Structure 1
Amino acid sequence: KQNCIEENQINLPKIGKVKLIQHRPIPEGFIIKTVTISRKADGYYITLSLEDKSVPALTTEIEPTLKNTLGIDMGLKEFLVTSEGESVPIPQYYRKSQQRLKTLQKRLSRKNKGSKRWLKAVKAVAKQHKKIADKRKDFHFKTANELLSKVDVIAHENLNIKGLAKTRLSKSINDAGWGQFLTILTVKAGNAGQKTVAVNPKNTSQDCSNCGEKVDKELSQRTHSCPHCGVVIDRDLNAAINIKNRAVGHSVFKARGARRDGATKREACTIASA
């Protein structure tokens, strides 16, 4: 119901009136479409999905081009590297909080299960995990906004994140939160009339972005040095350029014409994160 919120209360079906702390008022002209209730470590949250029928639906029929597209390579050394040579440092919120979590979990293990002190310790651990998740989500939103402010199309690899999360790199991948970030990026792009494109990830790091020849390298090898054309470039930057080219549908030979002639090395720079 549109009048379900009255002052500091919300009237929920089958539950009745519940006390509500409203973060911001519902804008004039918006109608409530759905209500989602979720339980978190520090309490219950209600999320309202709103609709403004006066706003026309956005279309995302944008064709990727070399000018309007940015390729991003997700990684564990850097959170991502763009096809323009910019990099976003990986924050590692979970790893930085491991000592704090270890202390809280140690306190929990010393409590009698089911006791008030045990319940308090459980809540403390859950709150710490929520704090980490909130920081990570905020970082993802800010990074997505920064990327979408630059171009209309963001190209990324179509990664099997669930499969990667089962490898020895699972802790680092889960800490980076690639899946959540790509979901946020895709939703925000769609809402803004922009677009994301997922490309085949096969050999994006191995293929030379300058000549197209495959150059095998180990994961520990961070520089792409092509023996065929002589180009020397950061491994992740090489992958990001390949991702962009695949999204655009250009062969490396067409893409080469759009870059600086004679360029053999591109230095990466860093995007400062909040």
Structure 2
Amino acid sequence: MQHRPLPNGFQIKTVTISRKADGYYVTLSLEDKSVSKFNSDVKSTSENTLGIDMGLKYFVVTSEGKSVPIPQYYRKSQQRLKTLQKRLSRKKKGSIRWLKAVKAVAKQHKKVADRRKDFHFKTANELLSKAEIIAHENLNIKGLAKTHLSKSINDAGWGQFLTILTVKAENAGQKTIAVNPKNTSQDCSNCGQKVPKELSQRIHSCPHCGTVIGRDLNAAINIKNRAVGHSVLKARGVLCNSRTAKREAHAIP
């Protein structure tokens, strides 16, 4: 059954047939030469760039202050999966009932994966509608997935999301920028001073310039600044020095 009609003007380039838990799928790769191509020369500026911080409390927090809740599709389906796997364990391996139970487990896993992928596509579309360039951290996702947070990280699907975001950006003539993730949560996005904090501390409160904002928002702004090539220390140095001078002036008897 055809999912939807082929759009006018598009040419079929490749055809892929894949077998999944609920049947066979035919995937077509189409080309339309009128679609804008990826412009690698586009420069990142404060006006055309949006920084995003990915996390486990919120899936994404943008440098504009918008947050996207994390759906946790796998965790929400764990009880259902546990029930199906328990039924599977009671069946004789190789029997018809065992094969049906295996298929039921596979279908549930596919359902979770499909919902997660749909969420990633919708989130990517929403972000790309907000800015020409999306900046994110260059995370070692495989390494992070080996920690005690592995289940939550795999459930979030950061790797798949970044792949989707990058491909959709290129297809739309936009782009993504991966920046160094070091201290994006620790550095103050207003004055650039390092403000050490534990992972449990969700508020960034800078003792140097008085900035008080959410930890994730602070990180998202830092990510945007790094993509733009904006040095907070240089840009805010005069402001910090002036405040210091005022404090010193008030202290003089």
Q: What TM-score comes out, normalization by structure 2 length?
A: 0.90
Which of residues 138, 152, 155 in structure 2 aligns to 1:175?
155
Q: 1:245·1:255 contact (CA, 8 Å) conserved in 2?
A: no
2:210 and 2:33 map into 1 onto residues whose CA distance is 56
Paired position in structure 2 for 1:199: 179
**Alpha-carbon shift at residue 50 of structure 1 (Å):** 1.3
Among candidates 144, 161, 164, match of residue 184 of structure 1: 164
After TM superposition, give the deviation of residue 253 of structure 1 in Å: 4.5
3-state SS of 1:97 partner: helix
Question: Which residue in the other structure is 2:78 paired with?
Answer: 98
**Distance in 1 between the 2:157 and 2:121 partners?**
12
2:107 counterpart of 1:127:
yes
The Cα shift of 1:241 comes to: 0.4
Letter in 2 for 1:226: C
- Whether 1:222 and 2:194 are equivalent positions in the alignment is no
Structure 2 residue aligned with 1:59, among 39, 60, 64? 39
Percent same amino acid at aligned positions?
Answer: 85
Question: Paired residue for 2:192?
Answer: 212
Please state if 1:84 is matched with 2:64.
Answer: yes
Aligned to 1:154: 134
Quote the RMSD (CA, aligned, Å).
1.5
Report the Cα distance in structure 2 between the residues aligned to 1:248 and 1:58, rounded to whole angstroms.
Answer: 19
CA distance in 2, matches of 1:214, 1:254: 14
Change (3 A) 1:29 1:112: same
Q: Distance in 1 between matches of 2:40 and 2:4?
A: 30
What's the CA shift for 1:27? Answer: 2.9
How far did residue 37 of structure 1 move? 1.6
Q: Which runs of 5+ in 2 are unaligned?
A: 238-253
**Inter-partner Cα distance in structure 1 for 2:191 and 2:38:** 38
CA distance, structure 2, for counterparts of residue 82 and residue 223 of structure 1: 16
5+ unaligned residues in a row in structure 1: which ranges? 1-20, 258-274
Structure 1: which 4+ aligned runs deviate by more than 3 Å? 53-58, 253-257
Contact 2:52 2:63 in 1 (8 A): yes
2:51 aligns with one of 62, 71, 78: 71
SS in 1 for 2:186: coil
Contact between 2:53 and 2:60, CA under 8 Å: does it hold in 1? yes
Matched length: 237
Question: Displacement of 1:203 after TM fit?
Answer: 0.5
